[in-house]
Amino acid sequence: MKIFKKHNREPKEADAPQQEYARLGKALTRAIVRDNIQVTHNWKRFITVNFVRGLFVGLGSVVGATLLVALVLWLLNVFGGLPIVGDWFEAISSALNKSSAAE
């Protein structure tokens, strides 16, 4: 006597997005693999792609660091008037201003 039956059911409408996602995932994987093979077999394209990638990584690092330093300086100026930590923030801000003026 079989306790569990194997159900052959038709795909429901709810299964359609899952099947579509699976199909798109396979297509994307094939495209990425094909692109990687093309890039690694063509050394000129390999060098060009990595050079451009390096430029954008460097540019992003510089812009990110600049924004972070600007945010820190702005916060130091905003919180400089607080009673407890204000003196500490002002000391840090003046030290940063002195070091930037010395350069």
Domain count of the chain?
1
Model confidence, pTM: 0.46
Range of the domain at 60: 15-102
Structural domain includes residue 69? yes
Written as tens digits, the pLDDT of the chain (103 aa) is: 556 556 566 556 667 788 888 999 999 999 988 888 877 788 888 889 889 999 999 999 999 999 998 898 888 777 766 667 777 777 888 888 887 776 6
In whole angstroms, how large is the CA radius of gyration of the chain?
Answer: 29
Structural domain includes residue 77? yes
Structural domain includes residue 7? no
Structural domain includes residue 38? yes
Structural domain includes residue 5? no
User: How far is the CA of 3 from the CAs of 6, 7, 62, 89, in angstroms?
Assistant: 10, 12, 66, 73
